[in-house]
Structure 1
Amino acid sequence: MSAPDLTTTIQKLINQESLPDSYADTVKKTILPLAQHIHSLRKAREEPIIIGIHGAQGTGKSTLTEFLRELLTIHYRIPTASFSLDDLYLTRAEREQLAQSVHPLFITRGVPGTHDIALGQQVIDQLKAAGPDTETLIPAFDKSRDDRCPRDQWPVFRGRAEVILIEGWCMGAVPAASEAELMEPVNELERAEDPEGTWRQYVNRCLKGEYSRFFSQVDSLIMLKAPSMECVLQWRTLQEHKLRERNRYAPKQGGENNETARPSRIMSDEEVVRFIMHYERITRASLEEMPARADCVINVGEDHSFGEPLIRQRQ
């Protein structure tokens, strides 16, 4: 059975993601050259390759990853798996325990220390070692409930992955260079709720340790570069509005009239402002230092438009 033509695949993905038809131009200008780059990397290696996709909240990481996975799988015939660091978040109960034992701010998902990195490594190892009929469960997290989905709801990848795409807001981030840098608060959350720097120091230790080892596997790091921290806040607020809208029309478990069946943790605009403060330190640091070392940088405009990929060839 022959693959559908490229135009058909692109239009299907545009419809699936509820994007404007003009997004086809973004695919041709930005995403197809990136897919070709990944294809070239895979041809040059004997082993499966890992592509890291970094971008602040709202930059379009998930959409980019979806398009790349489908284009690589269907048109380049490269079995491609993907998952998000977001899907590795610790369960609500695990974060409650971390909040009690280390610092109350760890109840909020997001920063290094709130992911199950060992689970992510297990998924990578299984995808790389799989046989033709092996089924690998890909973790899934439900942000509307602020908890991990039950295992029987996780997507399944069949076979061996030749390309593994991992996207996340802190993908490839590096720890702070000094203790003094950590102790200077960057916002009111750090100033008022972490005056001793306990939370910040723990996050930084995680970045230095298991996160650094996890990120070191990446064969090529792609950065979606937001124009500013202010844009990130606007985009994340918009994401929450869309999540609220989707949740409003989603069927409730246990019957339409069971109001307690779908506990929702969708945030108000004020809660989003506080939420983003948890991410601000690492986001600002990455915006400043990552463009100089990422293998590919895609500038994202204030209107969410993508620039052409600026690809750096590794020596």
Structure 2
Amino acid sequence: MEQVHGALSGFRHRPVVIGICGAQGSGKSTLAQAVQARCAAERIASAVLSLDDLYLTHAERQALARDVHPLLATRGVPGTHDIALGLDVLDGLEAGGPVALPRFDKARDDRVSEHDWPIIGPGCQVLVLEGWCLGAFPQRTSELAEPVNALEAGEDPDGHWRRWVNDMLGDSYQRLFARIDRLVLLAAPGFEVVHRWRSQQERDLAARAGPDDRVMSAAQIARFIAHYERITRAILAEMPARADLVVRLDQDRRPEVVEGR
């Protein structure tokens, strides 16, 4: 809460945005909920929005897959979110609300009907914004030349997909990330643990899934996280030097070291 109070002291005229970045399964949603609960206990009006809730619809991603690159059918990488929608939410909160918060149903792989989005009333003081690539910077062109895994080597041999994703990250995403007042990084010990963490998430999803919901197999999870590997590795390499708070996690997601600026 130190980051929250510090931000509140400097931005009384609008809601402060606390950004939480971390690899898949690192505990971003859990931390966001904990911050919201603490805010409630201190009578600070708050809301939580995930970058995942800004995913383009299934149909929109299918169109990208057809028109730009087949790998864009898979949600997650920059270019598969509706960033304009996220900026509209922030603008609405700054204007005083009320604001409807988008929601995405991962089991259906599609956006929830707008009629079912929760409404945040006027007076929101803190928005907790969380996402796996939140605050990430684009890579240099030279860093995109070599594939980082079999997915890139086999399905993006000419680098068109990763260059397009990198361009998206360097454009509209930076306008959204510029609205973050405090950036928190949940730093995994390495990308190698992400498969196990994401598999645990999928088991939780499977326990709640209905008969028509989509749940990934182990092979599908491995392919899924390969889409995220390049940017996740880049985040772990460079973001600790600039994040306002870095929580270094062990392989079981327990905090080992907390570093603050």
Return the TM-score normalized by structure 2.
0.96
Aligned match for 1:156, one of 119, 134, 152: 119
Question: Pairwise mapping of residues 27-66 of structure 1 onto structure 2 (< 5 A)?
Answer: 35-47=1-13, 48-66=15-33
| Alignment of 1:166 onto 2:129 | yes
2:228 partner SS: helix
Q: How far 1:190 sits from its partner (Å)?
A: 0.3
- 1:83, 1:160 → 2: CA distance? 16
Question: Deviations 1:139-170 (Å, cap 9, x if unpaired)?
Answer: 00000010001112211111122111100000
Aligned residue for 2:160?
A: 198
| Alignment of 1:229 onto 2:191 | yes
Larger Rg: 1
1:309 partner SS: strand
Aligned match for 1:115, one of 76, 81, 87: 81
Q: Indicate if the aligned counterparts of 1:128 and 1:160 stay in contact, CA closer than 8 A.
A: no
Aligned residue for 1:127?
A: 93
Aligned match for 1:100, one of 66, 69, 91: 66
Number of equivalenced pairs: 260
Q: Indicate if the aligned counterparts of 1:128 and 1:162 stay in contact, CA closer than 8 A.
A: no
Aligned residue for 1:145?
A: 108
Aligned match for 2:171, one of 194, 201, 209: 209
Question: Deviations 1:220-262 (Å, cap 9, x if unpaired)?
Answer: 1100000111111110011111111111xx5xxxxxxxxxxx5
- 1:135, 1:213 → 2: CA distance? 22
| Alignment of 1:218 onto 2:218 | no
Q: Indicate if the aligned counterparts of 2:3 and 2:182 stay in contact, CA closer than 8 A.
A: no
1:297 partner SS: strand
Aligned match for 2:45, one of 79, 88, 105: 79
The one-letter code of the counterpart of 1:61 is K
- 2:123, 2:20 → 1: CA distance? 21
Q: Indicate if the aligned counterparts of 1:129 and 1:160 stay in contact, CA closer than 8 A.
A: no
RMSD over equivalenced CA pairs, Å: 1.2
Q: Which is further off, 268-277 or 298-307?
A: 298-307
Taking every aligned residue pair, what percent have the same amino acid on both sides? 49
Aligned residue for 2:259?
A: 310
Q: How far 1:55 sits from its partner (Å)?
A: 0.3
The one-letter code of the counterpart of 1:69 is Q
Aligned match for 1:290, one of 222, 239, 249: 239
Gaps of 5+ in 1: 1-34, 251-261
- 1:309, 1:123 → 2: CA distance? 31
Aligned residue for 2:99?
A: 136
Aligned match for 1:69, one of 18, 25, 36: 36
Q: How far 1:279 sits from its partner (Å)?
A: 0.2
Q: Indicate if the aligned counterparts of 2:100 and 2:119 stay in contact, CA closer than 8 A.
A: yes
Question: Deviations 1:72-126 (Å, cap 9, x if unpaired)?
Answer: 1x22222111100000000000000011110000000000000000000001111
Q: How far 1:308 sits from its partner (Å)?
A: 5.2
Return the TM-score normalized by structure 1.
0.80
1:171 partner SS: coil
Q: How far 1:37 sits from its partner (Å)?
A: 2.8
Aligned residue for 2:203?
A: 241
Q: Which runs of 4+ in 1 moved over 6 A?
A: none
